[in-house]
Amino acid sequence: MAIFLEDFAMSAAMDYEAGHPLFDPFAHPELYQGMRFRRSMAFLMDCVLITVLMFAASIAILFLGVLTLGLAWVLFAILWPAVALLYIAFTLGGSNSATPGMRAMGIELRLWHGGKVYPLLAMIHGVLYYLSVSFLTPLVLLVAFFSDRKRLLHDMLLGTVMVDSSALRQLDSVVAGHDEPATA
């Protein structure tokens, strides 16, 4: 399992070569335009989706508890963190590097060098977000107003950055030497 995660992390790290001009906020400000608003809206959409998944999982645990004479009801204690972490791991850590809410808002999470996020890092990203907001109050979100890439504290700690997906595709096509911007 450790070898698989290491290989996955290395493949994510090799998405872009060294010196790629991708994440310079002064050279490419279009990657970060409207990021705070879109990130907030994506968060709200993902909260709704996680709530729906939690409701479905609750019904499943309820019926499973009846079948096991109440033993499965212990799973209610870990329901919220389990559903949220699995949601983040499979969506943010997936091939799109974005949750459904983020895809709807046209943003994705990338590593500082341009690589895609892998599932373990996606889960750590989610845990650090909830810990920073819980212990440092929501005022920690003000960090995005003073960051050149509109990053939050947990983004800085993990070396991740949120970017505009369409601007990223256009920049990739220009860097790759194509005259025409990439289309979806």
Q: What is the pLDDT of residues 38-50, one digit of tens each?
A: 999 999 999 999 9
Strand partners, 116: 110
Radius of gyration over every alpha carbon of the chain, rounded to an integer in angstroms: 19
The token duo for 127 is 């845990």
pTM: 0.81
- Give the chain's residues under pLDDT 70: 1-23, 175-184
Going by the DSSP 8-state scheme, the letter that residue 16 receives in this structure is S
Going by the DSSP 8-state scheme, the letter that residue 13 receives in this structure is H
Helix (H) or strand (E) holding 64: helix 35-67
What does the pLDDT read at residue 21?
Answer: 54
Three-state DSSP at 51 gives: helix
Angle CA 10–14–16, to nearest 5: 155
